[in-house]
Amino acid sequence: KMAIRVPKSMRAKRELLKHAPKLVENGKKMLILHGTKTSAVLNSVLADLFHLKRDHAVKYTKKNDSIRPFESGGETSLEFFSLKSDCSLLVVSRIMLP
């Protein structure tokens, strides 16, 4: 049984209204990240994607060593970045070495 959340302050009320269902939903934002090693081709593809979706994209330019989406433990930083920037789509460039 779920309880209905009652806001105790105006700030809490605004936060609950922001996450409530809407008649017209906002567009999905894209998070663009560089992996540990990337090539010039991948960097240009990421730049083109960012320019195409400039209004709905967030690009992090630093190389992130902790981002490993297909290994255990690597998804925690992805979750942090997506919650921080409110993004639901993810693009990671990384060269997979054998």
Answering whether pTM is above 0.75, one says: no
* pLDDT > 70: percent of the chain: 95
Q: Label residue 45 by pLDDT band (50, 70, 90).
A: very high
Average pLDDT of the residues in 71-91:
83
Q: Which of 12, 36, 15, 19 is nearest to 94 (CA)?
A: 36
* In contact, 80 and 33? CB cutoff 8 Å: no
| Angstrom distance (rounded) from CA 71 to CA 51 | 30
Identify the residue with better confidence: 47 or 76: 47
Mean pLDDT of the chain: 84
Which two three-digit tokens encode residue 13?
Answer: 């009320």
Helix intervals (H) in the chain:
10-19, 40-52, 75-85
For residue range 19-42, list pLDDT tens digits in order. 888 888 778 899 998 877 888 898
